[in-house]
Structure 1
Amino acid sequence: MEDQVVDETKSPETESDPVVFVVSDAIGETAEAVARAALSQFNSGRVRWKRVPHVKDVAAVLDVIEEARGKKSAIVYTIIVPEIRAVMQKEANRFGIPHVDIMGPVLDALSRITTTKPRLEPGLVHRMDEEYFRRIEALEFAVKNDDGKDPRSLVRADAVLIGVSRTSKTPVSLYLAQRCYKVANVPLVPEIPVPRELFEIDSSRVVGLTVDADHLERIRYERLIAMGLDPQSSYADRQRIETELAYANGIFQKIGCPVIDVTNRAIEETATRVIQILGARHAKDKDRR
């Protein structure tokens, strides 16, 4: 007969079926996956599963033992904290309940070969997974909102970088996305109207990027040459550059946003300064509450 996995809460009439208790100080996915993989090797009939997540103390372990001791049961568990794991082992042995410690032996083995101690923090894998997906989401946001592509999304940004061309808006946005910040950037060009949404969001989330005119002229000149374009183009014209910078400065003042001078700054330095600005805003928000 093929194994049947039954949710205990939905099948009250199957009390005689064996029960696998899946116990974890996180959500129990790892323990259940291992147990299900093992069970697939048996033609053992109906089996009920009971997952007990977020076991953080001895009392929760004793509750599981109390329920399991009266049934044909086994306990499969992933518990990080040694003291709680020890209680599970001791009590399961005391009542003759078959039990499998999935995490303990692995932690011990890795401790020996790495010569370091484990952090003993439950749920780290899931927190890392969550951070990974937040980072991917932030990167997608940065790409979709690069160069002012979607002004309607500015309201969802953690930060909006504004400035003239070649002030590092895009690389800083992508760097911050790696730190899980959703960042949009909007170019400031005298001939192109500024999106109205830029004036509707909290000005403390807007960060202006400016640069020394000499430095910008040199960067733009080199950029044109690298692209095989005429270096005498208005893009690198000194008067044009000063006009753009003056226009951008006027927008900064109108919005009332903080401004960072990126002249000779590394991308990481600028990004760190943006994070500091965002941190100051969050601190003020907390004070208001």
Structure 2
Amino acid sequence: MPNTQPPRQLHVHLVSDATGETLNSITRACLVQFERAHPIEHHWTLIRTTGQMDKVLSGIEAHPGLVLFTVVNDRLRQHLLNGCRQLGVKFVSVLDPIISALTDHFGQVARGQSGRQHALDAEYFDRIAAMDFALAHDDGQSARNYEDADVILIGVSRSSKTPTCIYLANRGVKAANIPLVPNCPLPPELFQVKKPLVIGLTKDVNSLVQIRRNRLAMIAKDEDSDYVDPQSIRDEVAQARKLCTEHNWPMIDVTRRSIEETAATIIQMLSEHRDALLDAKSAAESREQA
């Protein structure tokens, strides 16, 4: 018999001495496993002093609930832990199990410095370069530089090409995207690329119809066009599949995928693509030396 009781309003306090992005991401990933949970989240970020931590503890006292934290400074951690114990609330240090495992694995003590993942290192600048690339190569722009891409996404209108490219850029992947528009030829540079992985994105016809209608409503355009006609869209999707099949380009159906899930699949495919390129290069060098 299904549970018909309304979900309880429970408080969750997220405490971080940095931006809180790591803590928020981990918490979100866990909360989706609890369908009936609708917690009231209290975000406490950039907590760097005992005075700031006192305000956090006052907030916890006013709204008791589970405390999740990523605080690496020992003095602030202890201040928070003592306060939670006095208030009788549960608390979890989210990163402790991972840091402990890494300490054992590397035989090295963690530095205990907050926000180190945001340091301006080479990886950071790679992400910035990838973001610039995605913006410069959005919607079929700058075709002459396609060979510099890691990934080229193609797909019919509203198949999530641009947001996927932006997400990939945040992971340091240079991604371009090209729309498949009826009666509009594709840039010849697309068919000449050697290094980039070309991937087609597709979506269920009914989903595309609804998304495109919403799009036209937002910009106050008449819906009487092939752009939202189900049969026309069905033809577009079929042509996209045919194109990808002809050129051996893999396709991903993004209908029931989040942007993050699509990007994760692309990153895995890109890794396999790069391995295949390396294998082909090694084989060619072996033949030359033989």
The answer, yes or no, to whether TM exceeds 0.5 is: yes
* Bigger radius of gyration among the two: 1
Q: 1:250 to 1:203 in 2, by over 3 A?
A: farther
Contact 1:203–1:257 (8 Å) recurs in 2: no
The residue correspondences of 1:225-236 to structure 2 (distance < 5 A) are 225-236=217-228
Distance 2:226 2:245 in 1: 26
Aligned runs of 1:155-234 on 2, under 5 Å? 155-202=147-194, 205-234=197-226
Q: Distance in 1 between matches of 2:155 and 2:251?
A: 10
Shift, 1:204, TM fit: 6.4
Deviation at 1:223, TM superposition (A): 1.5
CA contact (8 A) 1:204 1:258 kept: no
Residues 125 and 243 (structure 1), Cα distance of their counterparts in 2 relative to 1, 3 Å cut: closer
SS of 2:153's equivalent in the other structure is: strand
Task: Indicate the residue corresponding to 1:254 in structure 2.
Answer: 246
Aligned to 2:140: 148
1:37-186 to 2 correspondence within 5 Å? 110-114=73-77, 118-119=110-111, 128-186=120-178
Distance 1:182 1:174 in 2: 9
Provide structure 1 residue ranges, at least 5 long, that are not aligned to the other structure.
Answer: 1-108
CA distance in 2 between partners of 1:196 and 1:271 (Å)? 26
Q: Match of 2:121, SS?
A: helix
Within a 5 Å distance, the mapping from 1:27-46 to structure 2 comes to none
User: What is the number of equivalent residue pairs in this alignment?
Assistant: 179
Q: 1:125 to 1:269 in 2, by over 3 A?
A: closer
Whole-angstrom distance in 2 between the partners of 1:111 and 1:135: 31
Unpaired stretches in structure 2, ≥5 consecutive residues: 1-71, 79-95, 97-108, 283-290
The alignment partner of 1:222 has SS state of helix
SS in 2 for 1:209: strand
Q: Measured at CA, do residues 190 and 272 of structure 1 come closer, stay the same or move farther in structure 2, by a change above 3 Å?
A: same
Q: Does 1:280 align with 2:272?
A: yes
Distance 1:218 1:120 in 2: 49
Cα distance in 2 between the residues matched to 1:227 and 1:128: 40
Does the C-alpha gap of structure 1 residues 125 and 260 become closer, same or farther in structure 2, counting only changes over 3 Å?
A: closer
Tell me if structure 1 keeps the 8 A contact 2:155–2:180: yes
| Cα distance in structure 2, aligned partners of 1:185 and 1:193 | 15
Distance 2:117 2:240 in 1: 45
Contact 2:148/2:196 (8 A) holds in 1: no
Q: Structure 1 vs Structure 2: percent identity of aligned residues?
A: 44
Q: Secondary structure at the match of 2:201?
A: strand
The one of 208, 232, 236 equivalent to 1:240 is: 232
Letter in 2 for 1:145: H
RMSD of aligned Cα (Å): 2.6
